[in-house]
Amino acid sequence: MIPGSFDYSAPSSLEEAISLLQQHGDDAKILSGGHSLIPMMKLRLASPAHVIDINRIPDLDYIKEEDGVLRIGALVREADLEESELIRSKYPIIYEATKLIADPSVRNVATLAGNLAHGDAANDHPAVMLALGAELVATGPNGSRTIAIGDFFQGFFTTALEVNEILTEIRIPSPAANSSGTYLKLERKVGDYATAGIALQLALGPQAVCESAGIGLTNVGDMPIKAIAAEQSLVGKTLNDEHMKHAAELASDASDPMPDLRGSAEYKKNMVRVLTYRALKQVVEKILS
Amino acid sequence: MHSITVTVNGQAYTKEVEARLLLVHFIRDVLALTGTHIGCDTSNCGACTILINGRSVKSCTQFAVQADGKEITTVEGMAGEALHPIQEGFKEEHGLQCGFCTPGMIMRASDLLSKNPNPSEEEIRWAISGNLCRCTGYNNIVKAIKYAASKMTEEVVES
């Protein structure tokens, strides 16, 4: 499969990349890892007239934690996350989701920022970022602005990014003490898109009372879903089996899957319930142990 | 057209390429290195796996222009005077039947062993999860990579 013809530029600064975006508008696509864009171009589902390759821009591949915020640059590869000691030890939810994405060769190239900017409800990181309450930094001609992750996904393959903006950084609040998370993904075979996936981040306070809960759902709607009612049902409770089951029902109610080769809508909704309950049990146990 | 310079298996090549030329086509059709195979052409099967700056990459899902200035290794670059220990492993442990997936498997194993010289069976299976083989049932491929790991570790100890 051969993509259509396009003009290619590989700018060496963010300013140059943004000015190219301004020049070409809707006709341009940003290439970072390219593992969503290039397959779409090969299938001719996307035929951008201009491809702007941001991989030559220096200093966008950092993972650093400062002043209570984890900052991840636009060119951090999935494999970088997987190999980061900081991510493994302090952000298990990110580590667990990352190692379930595609396969190691794809993860050597694909980026976290691209996974989010593509706006695909089947991608795994959106749910994780919804659970973690991330903020995304969009850089455009007038500088940078931050977008709360809850406002980022706006519909089927649609995000809050403007045509002339690039997603340059992901900011994640450092987890409180006594908090942890997990990502559970049901897949038909290794590396597949999720039949259903659930990201959970919990913080427990004194007497194991739930102080905060973040729940994101993968591939069970036309965009990534934050299960707000389920989250709210947990906060302020000492989490027993009944609370967990109730929250799992609410998460299932928040999902709105389409039937496809991976299963019926009813099956997928039920899997959201099962995975949410399982994740809650695991994470509470992990924090209390 | 874009002028790119790519070092493949230690040799520098400067070529004029169209932006849409896929890296796997550059390697096979422009450089005539046909050891890198095209299987699914959708980044699923891993037959086209090569190393770019030491990391395994599916060359059907890269443009050749992206490789400008990079170091590429294909299966042709693995053997010296003797077979590379990974190649030897595939031979000794019957890690191939039709051989179509083998170049990709070898390049993927090379990336794995550079990061994890002594992988467990489970780590090997996860590591080749993006490389499909339809002949062997994988058991002998896992054995082949284990063979290579112990051979390469021994070589390090001896040197």
Q: In order along chain B (159 residues), what is the average pLDDT of each group of 10 residues?
A: 98 98 98 98 96 98 98 98 97 96 98 97 98 94 98 84
For residue A43, the chain B residue with the least C-alpha distance is B42
- Which H, E and C letters describe chain B, residue by residue? CEEEEEEECCEEEEEEECCCCEHHHHHHHHCCCCCCCCCCCCCCCCCCEEEECCEEEEHHHCEHHHHCCCEEECHHHCCCCCCCHHHHHHHHCCCCCCCCCHHHHHHHHHHHHHHCCCCCHHHHHHHCCCCCCCCCCCHHHHHHHHHHHHHHHHHHHHC
pLDDT for res A207? 86
| CA separation for the pair B44, B60 (Å, rounded) | 10
pLDDT at A94 > cutoff 80: yes
Q: What pLDDT band is residue A205 in, cutting at 50, 70 and 90?
A: very high
| Predicted complex: ipTM over 0.90 | yes
SS3 of A212, please? strand
Residue A110: its chain B contacts at CB < 8 A?
A: none
Residue A106: its chain B contacts at CB < 8 A?
A: 43, 58, 61, 130
A189: Cβ–Cβ under 8 A, 6 or more apart, which residues?
Answer: none
Q: How far is A75 from chain B (nearest CA, A)?
A: 14
Q: pLDDT tens digits, residue range A227-268?
A: 999 999 999 999 999 999 999 999 999 999 999 999 999 999
pLDDT at A27 > cutoff 80: yes
Instruction: Choose among A34, A25, A104, A32: nearest CA to A75.
Output: A32
pLDDT at A12 > cutoff 80: yes
pLDDT for res B15? 98
pLDDT for res A158? 96
Q: pLDDT tens digits, residue range B49-63?
A: 999 999 999 999 999
pLDDT at A208 > cutoff 90: no
pLDDT for res A21? 97
CA distances, A69 to each of A72, A117, A133, A136, B132 (Å): 10, 20, 11, 12, 40
- Return left, alpha or beta for B22; rule: phi > 0 is left, psi -120 to 50 is alpha, else beta: beta
Mean pLDDT computed over every residue of chain A: 97
Q: Are A213 and A237 within 8 A, CB to CB?
A: no
* The pairing of beta strand A7-9 with beta strand A50-53: parallel
Q: Are A105 and B2 in contact (CB < 8 Å)? A: no
| CA separation for the pair A11, A14 (Å, rounded) | 7
Chain A interface test: which of B5, B36, B60, B63 (most A C-beta within 10 Å)? B63
Which domains occur in chain A, in start order?
Answer: 7-52 (3.30.43.10), 63-173 (3.30.465.10), 180-288 (3.30.390.50)
State the count of interchain CB pairs (< 8 A) between A and B.
Answer: 83
pLDDT for res B156? 79
Which domains occur in chain B, in start order?
Answer: 2-77 (3.10.20.30), 85-158 (1.10.150.120)
Q: pLDDT tens digits, residue range A46-91?
A: 999 999 999 999 999 999 999 999 999 999 999 999 999 999 999 9
